[in-house]
Structure 1
């Protein structure tokens, strides 16, 4: 985009800017994503996780930004004399109004996609199918929100012929806003599911809300076999339904689906054109077939002939939307992204990388050939080079024939190779030390072998942590408290076994108020990883005081003796008003002050000015047990009396209070007070099974792979002490995971089952230190390399815990540190 600031002011009704000739070429809603200061217009959005107004002064002074859209003129505006402040009643409305105007001025046709799943896959496949004929712009990654959609639309330029935009919602009324901004010609409804429905009364309301995207479309593409979607579509658009069940009135009839050798051949009949055709896709899953048929309907609607469709469909590849983060060799951290190789995707990957920078790591980007997406290649590589310079990347490595031929376009010092093979033949893992490495390649030419070279652990056992599920769970609880209620996130015990660094970075970005750890070492580790937000240490000791002060960690105060020692060290250091958190024992009887001992604490606190109470808190001991609600209510009453006593002793000082845990947030919302503490719920583990927490998503899954498959006769014994006796002729697979990895020995002898190819397979014999055996009899084709899920989607961690007679906390925190952790964004 390219506007003068005065043009934008007219569009959003913001009055006349002080400097009307500023040119705007990019929009910004997150200060951390700043790339081009001189051409940037910053929208100071207010959200539950943050307030953009807090970053205006920094963007002006340090970022070089001069243009801002605000709902309130900053109090320090006089200190920014060269700034334009466009004042509007609502910043999000202004952003959407600008995007709607920009979209209306373009001559591009627009396709909008909604649904519960498959939106990104259909978007990417349509791009691959259409882009040989048209210049196409598409939403980057999953930019489908109230801010993501307008930013996507503003990427349309004068040469754009088609735009493909994702649209997602989480609350009623949101789709009406997006529809007015997108104004699509073709609307696609992929499917409907119950996931993420907590903002809606039921799935039918959610379906109607999503379907409102089509209210002014010319065409609505959907599965006619889905009665709920069919009944939810508004009147007006021509319905382009597809069917596999011969549903009457469908425009596209799928005659036959034949699966063989990892491919599916689909025969179809297009009723409007009386056309029949056939194509093959390199997939066999029902979900992929559904997405391919949806894409087919759009292609036919656009007038693509069956022969062209047959040529292009076999070229489709899986859409790998994950962005993985893992430990690399020699103290490196590795980010691997194969979502797409366009310039917009590169910008998002660099943005993600920038939020994981630590003082101890230099920045390296390993970049494959860039998808020019119809733009002049010279311009695209010039933009990529500018992005890399602005992000202050220390080391740039290009791999691929195109980027190798354009090495002169990259920043000085860049090194390029014509192929992955050339790269692997020229470097070793020892060439990389203490670097944050982004590996960015396309799905057509992935740099997977490069990632494998740089992985710290290459064994087949991996604990995968879904950072998007972390965000979803955080927002689930966020939606159940007031906007001004703070969220304290528990990441003790190395993030309940998931690893604390990436969780902390994600929660810091999401706007959590505090992190809480058990011991000071965990807090120091987070500071070294670049975490700057407040951190509470729940079990501090006198020996920890130096580290606590040096890393600015905020200790829990649970004894007068510890408080006196803390004050003495603070006084020695000349520290004033250091924040501390007063622990009340309201009924757990573990740590904390009782009401009768609180006066002594107050006396000590009032006698000095080195430390000051930042919060007072307590811990519920039976919030998840309704039969103990009377006791829980007494805890609330006891805690309130303690709060009144402490606060009355410090008039004029704001002392926060918090007592609710994950269960308390859903069961006792009236007790949320100033903050709540989110623990096991953040990790997707339900503490209540009454439906109130059903939308939580487990964040962790543990898997390994088969390393051996053998056939044994009935009566054969398996494992130590010959205690695993086969009662039939069996096929036994060995998997490389054992009690040294955290697999409890009590899970042996068939007490647990792991999932292979969608089938639960019981353990056989004992769990060994580094391996165990499972019975895969009757599952065709099991072979070494097949994935084995220990817990995850098919085997809930709660089931493992029930087998062991314990709680999920213990299972999760028992996973050994030798197991590779991989963090990913969907």
Structure 2
């Protein structure tokens, strides 16, 4: 898109500060970390309670970005770029998207609801793609920021749009409607998601219906509450000949009435009545949510006048939708990013940003299929893809498909194959090792076979780590901090059992200020993994000081003996102002200098130029217990006294920090210069009121290995600690105390979840297995099992075992494979 300053000023209601009147824009960005930012980027500097992109504008200018939408021009940036100054940059982004949307006049399907939006969107894309060139929301880009980023990806070759809109409270949907302006409205399942943002169900439905103010049709599942809301909505927002196109299992007045539903072994057969005729339709799912989402898709096809044969032929090919990017351990020290179910230009841009944020190895490889539905000619598309790959500094690209193979001359360092089978034949010769591999392919290419080849083979128990939840929890605690307060995040103990390097990569992407580890080897592992952030070692042993210096780690110093040991090595290596962190003991009585040590500490450090006090810290013993708040305040007061003495006598102004996770919430006046976030990042709080704002990070999963029935009187497990009182169905799960499951959780104290039902653990937990009672659960071998996550939570398990969540998390063995996803 080519825009001039006058256009932009009018569109955004902005003040122009700059010199270049005509600007060529081909990329809209809000992420300062993206390698796709360049001279033709229009960067919107969003700011909120957690972050302010204005802080990164100078860095972006140095990288070549010249056009910015800002609330103010940073002092050090004046005269160095073009600036559009607005009152609110989020509003400006939405105004730009609204303007851009109005340049196109093809049909738009708009989806909203509590559940099923993304799945219905992906299925409609699959069902309609043979007949349309579709632009759709990438992933779940349905928010106040996600929607405009989706809309500005439209181009002249598209002739159908499918966008989803998600809201969490009132007064949000009107902004999304102004950008999407759907002709066809689809209301998916209304459930309990985001209930806290609305007074009641009616208010929530009323707000969601605002997406359809100008729609010619609204497709929905008929029920009394929605019908009542629609009646009032239609009276308020009249559109000539608007159609209410409904379906129902029970109400014969619906446009499409479902006469019957029957389950087969792997599918569901429904009979539906439409315009007086009856039709059979086989849906390749058994669960009720998928069946309902399929029926929603059916109504869209019927409204678009597809015949029953075409509907049946396409819908029987529907597939489970994977809505996340997963990071998996690969063969030969590779890591694998699995995005093997879709291939379009917009989602490629997102996946490449994710590749950069999660790369474990400096070598980056992309395995890419032909790209479908770009809206560009092939010549233009693969030119853009080649530039995108080059901007993201991808080491090698492997193209699979006839089209990408025919444009291979546009890429450097590319190997191409005509199809997936051809790639698999040559797999060994490609010598994958020590690289981060993004696997990005259209579903037709069956790239899941490539994932299977590259994925490290381990047993079927995995710990899933939700990186989006980590980002959410980090932002939650950042929102509690003063504007200039730094944040150190603890990634010790293998990231509290969740995986240190992968989480450190994400935290570096979020530009936290420090990482904290317990021992030098943890910090060395992170540095070897490419982490550039400063890393503080909290419990360094004197024998590790040479390694700490070699890897540029920063030691906590807590005793005169330790200080002298470090100074001796630092002097031998002729170091100057090496950063160290002074630990004060204010009442924890674990590690640290006490008040009576301070004079000797001052005498040792005064005039010493070998080291520099980077920070002074202490640790609170009772920040989470209200009954001990007096003691906690006494620690803070003592820290103020002792740290001030050090600063005055040594004439230094280091970073000061004393607050841990609970302290951040309970002692906001003691934030000093930095806080240390630990267990809260991983979704655990000691405050029940605060816990509801945090998201679960880790879900420990396994599968059923075997199911058997035993008669009354038979026993299960070592020691015969469970005796069946009646015929009992027992399932064996391949996880045990060697994987970190406490034996105290056995013998019907604990449970696992199978098919959303509790299965009590019976008998003693074994080293590698545990057994559960599934008499009342319809399950089979291979079915999924949740050990902990949303239910049971690690908090619940810890309470039952009279311990703390830290112990549950950090006990999970490293032999359990970690899978990271967004």
Q: Displacement, 1:503? A: 0.9
Equivalent residue of 1:33, what SS? coil
Q: What does 1:36-47 correspond to in 2, within 5 Å?
A: 37-47=38-48
Asked if the contact 2:110–2:180 (Cα under 8 Å) also holds between the matched residues in 1, the reply is yes
2:143: which partner in 1? 145
Q: What does 1:571-650 correspond to in 2, within 5 Å?
A: 571-649=571-649
Asked if the contact 1:50–1:511 (Cα under 8 Å) also holds between the matched residues in 2, the reply is no
State which of 734, 737, 740 in structure 1 corresponds to 2:738: 740
1:157 and 2:158 aligned: no
Q: Displacement, 1:79? A: 8.3
1:786: which partner in 2? 783
Q: Displacement, 1:641? A: 3.7
Task: Name whichever of 558-567 and 528-537 sits farther off.
Answer: 558-567
1:18: which partner in 2? 19
CA distance in 2, matches of 1:559, 1:196: 51
Q: Displacement, 1:329? A: 1.4
1:726/1:16 CA distance change after superposition, 3 Å? closer
Q: Displacement, 1:684? A: 1.7
2:661: which partner in 1? 662
Task: Name whichever of 726-735 and 335-344 sits farther off.
Answer: 726-735
Cα-to-partner distance string for 1:121-141 (whole Å, 9 max, x where unaligned): 122122223333333211111
State which of 806, 809, 818 in structure 2 corresponds to 1:812: 809
CA distance in 2, matches of 1:811, 1:429: 43
CA distance in 2, matches of 1:53, 1:298: 43
1:320: which partner in 2? 322
> Alignment length, in residue pairs?
815
1:174/1:649 CA distance change after superposition, 3 Å? farther
Query: Structure 2, unaligned stretches of length 5 or more?
Result: none
Equivalent residue of 2:338, what SS? strand
Q: Displacement, 1:355? A: 2.1
Q: Displacement, 1:614? A: 3.8
1:289: which partner in 2? 291
Equivalent residue of 2:691, what SS? coil
Equivalent residue of 1:37, what SS? coil
Q: What does 1:285-434 correspond to in 2, within 5 Å?
A: 285-302=287-304, 304=306, 308-357=310-359, 360-373=361-374, 375-400=376-401, 403=404, 406=406, 408=408, 411-428=411-428, 431-434=431-434
Cα-to-partner distance string for 1:311-348 (whole Å, 9 max, x where unaligned): 43323222101211122111111111134211211221
1:383/1:569 CA distance change after superposition, 3 Å? same
Cα-to-partner distance string for 1:448-469 (whole Å, 9 max, x where unaligned): 2222222223321211111112
Equivalent residue of 1:355, what SS? helix
1:705: which partner in 2? 703
CA distance in 1, matches of 2:658, 2:251: 55
TM-score by length of 1: 0.88
Q: Displacement, 1:162? A: 2.7
TM-score by length of 2: 0.88
CA distance in 1, matches of 2:481, 2:128: 45
Asked if the contact 2:256–2:273 (Cα under 8 Å) also holds between the matched residues in 1, the reply is yes
Cα-to-partner distance string for 1:254-298 (whole Å, 9 max, x where unaligned): 44443332323344556xx77765533212222223323333444
CA distance in 1, matches of 2:374, 2:146: 20
Q: Displacement, 1:595? A: 4.3
Asked if the contact 1:493–1:518 (Cα under 8 Å) also holds between the matched residues in 2, the reply is yes
Task: Name whichever of 3-12 and 465-474 sits farther off.
Answer: 3-12
1:744/1:101 CA distance change after superposition, 3 Å? same
1:258: which partner in 2? 262
Task: Name whichever of 153-162 and 561-570 sits farther off.
Answer: 561-570
Q: What does 1:429-440 correspond to in 2, within 5 Å?
A: 431-440=431-440
1:380/1:536 CA distance change after superposition, 3 Å? same
Asked if the contact 1:5–1:24 (Cα under 8 Å) also holds between the matched residues in 2, the reply is no
CA distance in 2, matches of 1:339, 1:7: 39
CA distance in 2, matches of 1:609, 1:667: 38
CA distance in 2, matches of 1:712, 1:578: 67
1:236: which partner in 2? 237
Equivalent residue of 1:456, what SS? coil
Q: Displacement, 1:307? A: 5.3
Asked if the contact 1:240–1:297 (Cα under 8 Å) also holds between the matched residues in 2, the reply is no
Asked if the contact 1:706–1:734 (Cα under 8 Å) also holds between the matched residues in 2, the reply is yes
Equivalent residue of 2:163, what SS? strand
CA distance in 2, matches of 1:247, 1:635: 66
CA distance in 1, matches of 2:650, 2:219: 64
Asked if the contact 1:341–1:442 (Cα under 8 Å) also holds between the matched residues in 2, the reply is yes
CA distance in 2, matches of 1:357, 1:576: 33
1:214/1:559 CA distance change after superposition, 3 Å? farther
1:182: which partner in 2? 180
Asked if the contact 1:49–1:512 (Cα under 8 Å) also holds between the matched residues in 2, the reply is no
Q: Displacement, 1:538? A: 1.5
CA distance in 1, matches of 2:728, 2:210: 55
1:547/1:279 CA distance change after superposition, 3 Å? same
2:819: which partner in 1? 822
Q: Displacement, 1:371? A: 1.9
CA distance in 2, matches of 1:51, 1:284: 46
Cα-to-partner distance string for 1:741-780 (whole Å, 9 max, x where unaligned): 2233334444433333334333444433333333434544
Q: Displacement, 1:434? A: 0.9
2:693: which partner in 1? 695
1:290/1:476 CA distance change after superposition, 3 Å? farther
Asked if the contact 1:122–1:294 (Cα under 8 Å) also holds between the matched residues in 2, the reply is yes
Task: Name whichever of 529-538 and 719-728 sits farther off.
Answer: 719-728
1:109 and 2:107 aligned: yes
Cα-to-partner distance string for 1:430-461 (whole Å, 9 max, x where unaligned): 92211111112233443222222222233212
CA distance in 2, matches of 1:510, 1:455: 27
Equivalent residue of 2:358, what SS? coil
Task: Name whichever of 117-126 and 658-667 sits farther off.
Answer: 658-667
1:199/1:633 CA distance change after superposition, 3 Å? farther
Equivalent residue of 1:32, what SS? coil
Cα-to-partner distance string for 1:541-588 (whole Å, 9 max, x where unaligned): 322323333333333332233334444544555544444433333332
Q: Displacement, 1:516? A: 1.5
CA distance in 2, matches of 1:683, 1:728: 42
CA distance in 2, matches of 1:202, 1:531: 47
2:792: which partner in 1? 795
CA distance in 2, matches of 1:149, 1:710: 50
2:683: which partner in 1? 684
CA distance in 2, matches of 1:87, 1:782: 61
Asked if the contact 2:135–2:154 (Cα under 8 Å) also holds between the matched residues in 1, the reply is yes
1:553: which partner in 2? 553
Cα-to-partner distance string for 1:684-732 (whole Å, 9 max, x where unaligned): 224233x331232221122222333344444444444555544444444
1:675: which partner in 2? 674
CA distance in 2, matches of 1:248, 1:647: 79
1:52/1:572 CA distance change after superposition, 3 Å? farther
CA distance in 2, matches of 1:735, 1:98: 53
CA distance in 1, matches of 2:394, 2:110: 36
CA distance in 2, matches of 1:370, 1:342: 5
Asked if the contact 2:50–2:479 (Cα under 8 Å) also holds between the matched residues in 1, the reply is no
Task: Name whichever of 519-528 and 628-637 sits farther off.
Answer: 628-637
Task: Name whichever of 260-269 and 244-253 sits farther off.
Answer: 244-253
CA distance in 2, matches of 1:534, 1:629: 32
Query: Structure 1, unaligned stretches of length 5 or more?
Result: none
CA distance in 1, matches of 2:549, 2:171: 48
CA distance in 1, matches of 2:614, 2:166: 39
